Amino acid sequence: MTNTCNLEKLIRPNVAALEPYSSARDEFTESGAAMVFLDANENPFENGVNRYPDPQQRLLKKEIGLIKDISEKNMLLGNGSDEVLDLLFRAFCEPGKDTIITLPPTYGMYKVLAGINNIENREVLLTEAFQPNVPAILEAVDKQTKMIFLCSPNNPTGTALSEANIEQLLNNFKGLVVIDEAYIDFSETESWSKKLKQFPNLVITQTLSKAYGMAGIRLGICFASEEIITILNKIKPPYNINSLTQEKAIHRLQNISSVKKEIGSLIDEKIKLYKALLEISFIDKIVPSEANFILCRVDDASKRYNQLVEKGVVVRNRSNQPLCENTLRFTVGTPKENKLLIATLKQLKS
Ligand code: PMP
């Protein structure tokens, strides 16, 4: 079944009509193309960052394309994937009118962004196995529903969402299905980015903040059809990826073997951590994880959280999320940090 996704109906009318800002350097890529650049009111004295960055991030997109095997035309970069998510709201959701669907327990920013943009957030809980409840989701859809947010592997559970469930949503929902793959590089499951041609309503977000170890440079990625990318490009700030970020990211991507080595070591550490957590008396459930963290149910999450903080170990209490009562989420650290976490958990008094 092919879903006919009508972007003209999905896009906000003011965005459709918008004439985007054209930045000084849009037409010129390398500085060698001109004798002098006197177009952007920069300070001409060279210091490495006196020039504006490439607004289309061509060199960086090329490197991402090589690693992810995706055309640059299907790519938009953001100041973290949080910016990409915000652009999606602003391009497609009419404040005060449209709705989105999210599947708690999940990443908190979808709800916050809906709030900022005055969009109704319809929450359809994941099942007990932390999988999408497809009939209930389709039931919650109405004419104003523009996007469904899926997170796979999901934060905070670490579970990958079932391929069959996602496919059902892609086939039956006329709006955009956004799959947040922030943790995909830790997972055994394949990215949905290979299926852009098959599903015109598919949008994928990824990030260099997790497996690539670059949370500090703020680089998020959106993969989608050329048509969707063209819409997002209309509203993105002209120079949203700064020169230092572009440079650092290119360097990291050109050294992909060291990224892979770190991912391998974090996965090994996660397995060790999982086994060690089984031995902790006040932990009664550990959710198998496809990400770089582990969610556990404990006897009393706020007590254990405070005890850990007192000993200098900061973890995340996720108990305020549905289906997550008395849970703590542990990020996988270095071997030394993980040993310290386990030793500290073992010392905690009942
Ligand atoms: N999506 C998920 C599921 C996340 O957990 C996070 C960060 N915690 C983000 C997106 C945001 O990532 P970025 O650093 O790329 O903004």
pLDDT of 30 above 60 = no
Q: 281 C-alpha to center of ligand 1: Å?
A: 32
Q: How many helices (H) and strands (E) does the chain have?
A: 12, 11
Q: 173 C-alpha to center of ligand 1: Å?
A: 25
Looking at residues 125-131, what average pLDDT do you find?
98
Closest CA to 280 of 298, 264, 302, 307: 298
Ligand 1 pocket, CB under 6 A: 80-82, 107, 151, 155, 180, 182, 207, 209, 215, 220
Atom from ligand 1 closest to the CA of residue 207 = 15
Closest CA to 64 of 254, 194, 259, 209: 254
Residues 6+ apart with CB under 8 A from 131: 159, 161, 162, 165
Q: 152 C-alpha to center of ligand 1: Å?
A: 12
Looking at residues 173-200, what average pLDDT do you find?
97
What are 52-70's pLDDT values in tens digits? 999 999 999 999 999 999 9
* Percentage of the residues of the chain whose pLDDT score is greater than 70: 97
The best mutation among 180, 217, 218 to test binding of ligand 1, ranked by most ligand atoms within 8 Å of the C-beta, falls on: 180
Distance CA 181, CA 202 (A): 12
pLDDT of 47 above 90 = yes
pLDDT of 347 above 80 = yes
Q: 181 C-alpha to center of ligand 1: Å?
A: 9
Q: In the β-sheet with 202-207, what is the strand arrangement from edge to edge?
A: 75-78, 220-223, 202-207, 176-180, 145-151, 99-102, 120-123
Atom from ligand 1 closest to the CA of residue 81 = 15
Backbone angles phi, psi at 151, to 5 degrees: -125, 115
Q: Pairing between strand 220-223 and 75-78?
A: antiparallel
Q: 69 C-alpha to center of ligand 1: Å?
A: 22
Atom from ligand 1 closest to the CA of residue 220 = 15
ipTM of the complex model = 0.99
Residues of the chain with CATH 3.90.1150.10: 257-347
Determine the CATH number of domain 7-254. Answer: 3.40.640.10
Class of the domain covering 257-347: alpha beta
Show the tokens assigned to 343: 């030793």
- Give residue 159's pLDDT: 98
The best mutation among 179, 207, 219, 321 to test binding of ligand 1, ranked by most ligand atoms within 8 Å of the C-beta, falls on: 207
The best mutation among 107, 150, 332 to test binding of ligand 1, ranked by most ligand atoms within 8 Å of the C-beta, falls on: 107
Q: 82 C-alpha to center of ligand 1: Å?
A: 6
Distance CA 207, CA 218 (A): 8
Q: Assign 3 a pLDDT band (cuts: 50, 70, 90).
A: confident
- Give residue 157's pLDDT: 98
Residue 218 backbone class (left: φ over 0; alpha: ψ -120 to 50; beta: rest)? left
Atom from ligand 1 closest to the CA of residue 215 = 14
- Give residue 33's pLDDT: 67
- Give residue 132's pLDDT: 98
Q: 245 C-alpha to center of ligand 1: Å?
A: 17
Closest CA to 345 of 330, 332, 335: 330
- Give residue 22's pLDDT: 84
Q: Assign 5 a pLDDT band (cuts: 50, 70, 90).
A: confident
Bigger pLDDT: 24 vs 20: 20
Residues of the chain with CATH 3.40.640.10: 7-254
Q: What does pLDDT average to over the chain?
A: 96
- Give residue 121's pLDDT: 98
H/E element holding 102? strand 99-102
Q: 67 C-alpha to center of ligand 1: Å?
A: 20
What are 257-316's pLDDT values in tens digits? 999 999 999 999 999 999 999 999 999 999 999 999 999 999 999 999 999 999 999 999
78 beta partners: 220
Q: In the β-sheet with 293-298, what is the strand arrangement from edge to edge?
A: 283-286, 293-298, 327-331, 316-317
- Give residue 28's pLDDT: 67
Distance CA 325, CA 199 (A): 36
Looking at residues 9-22, what average pLDDT do you find?
94
User: What are the contacts of 315-318 at 24+ separation with CB within 8 A?
Assistant: 315/341, 316/156, 318/105, 318/156
pLDDT of 113 above 80 = yes
pLDDT of 169 above 90 = yes
pLDDT of 27 above 90 = no
Q: Pairing between strand 316-317 and 293-298?
A: unpaired
Q: Are 309 and 280 in contact (CB under 8 A)?
A: no
- Give residue 23's pLDDT: 80
